[in-house]
Structures are given as C-alpha cells and as structure tokens.
Amino acid sequence: MERITFQFQDDKGNLFGNWKLEIGNLIFMSIIIFTIGLFFGSFLNSFIWRYRKNILETIWTDRSICPHCGHVLSANDLVPLFSFLVLGGKCRYCKQPISWQYPLVELFFALLTWLIYWKFGLEVTFVYYLVIGFLLTALLVIDVWDGILPNGLIVISMFFWFLYMIVSRAHYYDWTNMVAAALLGFGFFTAIWLITLGKGMGVGDIKLALLLGLLAGVPSIYYIVFFSFILGAIYVLPLLFLGKTKWKNPIPFGPFMILAYFLMLFLGTEIQLAFLRIF
Ligand SMILES: [Zn+2]
C-alpha cells in the first residue's frame, strides 16, 4: 500500500509541524508589530499636539506635558493605551480629562502598522507606507480639530512619495499614471470648488486630492473620490436627520478622503474586482 504523504509534514515526519510554526510566527510577529505601532501612535499624538501648537521643533528636546496643568509627564503616564486606561482617562496630577484622541490615534496607528505589515511584509515598502500613514493620520486628526490641511504635511508627503519612486526605480508607466491621477483628483475638486463658489470644498481638499492621486494612481483615485463621498454621507446624513447639524455648516472633508485612501490601499484589488463583477 502506498504511503499517504501530507502537505504539512516536516522533515522529521511531524504532521502539520510547519503549519503550526507558521501560525505561531504570524501571531508572534503580529504582537510585536502591533506593539511597535502603539508606540509610533503615541509619538504621532505628540507630533500632532506640537504641530498644532507650532512648536514641532521641541519634539526631540522637551518632555511631554499635560495640556491642562503643564505637569511634565513621566514614563508611567506615557505607556500607550495602558496609561489612559489605568488613569481612567484623567491626568494623574490635575485630574482633568485626557482627550479621546490619545487612545484612538494609538489604536488606529497600531492597526494601520499591522495592516501594512500584513499587506506588504517587512520590505522598503513597509517603511514608505508607515511614513505616509503617519503623515496622513496627522492630516486627518488636524483637519478634524482645526478644519485645515497644513501645506507643510502635504509637501513632506509628496517628497516621500518622490523619494520612494526613485528608490523603488518606478517604471515610466507608474510616473505618468500617478501624475495623471493627481491631476484628475486636483481637477475634480477644483471643479467642485468653482461650481460652488468655494463653499462646497476647501482649497485644502484640492491639495489633498492632488497628493492622494500621486500616492494611489489610476484607477484607485476614482474609487477614493467615490468612497470619500459615501463615508461623508454615512457620517453627515444621520446628523442632519437628527437635527444635530445643518446643510450650511461646513464639515471637514479631508478625513473621509484619507480613510477612503486607506480603504483602497488595503482592499483596493478586492473592491475593484467586486465593482467589475457588478457593473
Ligand atoms: Zn494635568
């Protein structure tokens, strides 16, 4: 009788040995990557706070302080997620509430870091998307608080895109494709801006569309525009319905564009296939 061989048999004859090893490795790496992502998220919070206060140059020199009482925070107060939970969301020294931005951004960026690892592995691409993810999340949070998309962060993102295109020796096709997408995004939001006489969109949204076009290319930019309006509607329609906001109240649109970009980054292939099947 012929011996049955298993696909997952290792060289010592242990069945499913490799399979167990691979799952074990994936879980181990995921925990490490997620934890690193939490600490990057904590640094991102500090970056955002200093950017909004216009004191970014202090990020490597000055310790973090409580924005209410000014007390210098110790290492115990700065452990991502855990400090917020242990302190019950309040400053240890003045008992004033800590913004929900802190745990949310830490969790969001840890998840983003893990997704980048899952999608791209630990290549140069991982570092590139980590930097882009960092800058886009900063833009998202600053737009939520202040309703602006700072030029500085958009220009730095474009610089990293350019650097990555050089390092990865991008093909002529990719350059033209991405520049075309940037012009399409730019053109579309400029048209809305002109038609609504500057009330429907901010100038910041036009610049962000230019950046996202460069990062995503064609056809992703079409989907990003589409999903940004869908996400915006999901957010604003219940508020309008409940009378919590009015049509004329401006809401920042940048966060929806950035979330749509992340959606296409991780699920773009699946979404495009689904669309092709439907239409
Ligand atoms: Zn305090």
CB 52 within 8 A of CB 146: yes
Determine the distance separating the centroid of ligand 1 and the alpha carbon of 75, expressed in angstroms: 15
pLDDT digits (tens, 9 = 90+) for 63-76: 999 999 999 999 99
Q: Is the pTM of the predicted complex or chain greater than 0.85?
A: yes
Determine the distance separating the centroid of ligand 1 and the alpha carbon of 93, expressed in angstroms: 5
Q: Which residues of the chain have pLDDT under 50?
A: 1-6
Torsional sign, CA 248, 250, 254, 259: negative
Determine the distance separating the centroid of ligand 1 and the alpha carbon of 24, expressed in angstroms: 42
Rounded to whole angstroms, how far apart are CA atoms 8 and 168?
Answer: 35
Rounded to whole angstroms, how far apart are CA atoms 33 and 27?
Answer: 10
Report phi then psi at 202, rounded to 5. Answer: -90, 165
CB 255 within 8 A of CB 140: yes
User: What type of residue sits at position 212?
Assistant: L
Angle at alpha carbon of residue 62, lines to 59 and 64, rounded to 5°: 85
Residue 1 pLDDT: 45
Determine the distance separating the centroid of ligand 1 and the alpha carbon of 66, expressed in angstroms: 5
pLDDT digits (tens, 9 = 90+) for 158-200: 999 999 999 999 899 999 999 999 999 999 999 999 998 877 7
Q: 101-120 and 124-146 helices cross at what angle (nearest 10)?
A: 150
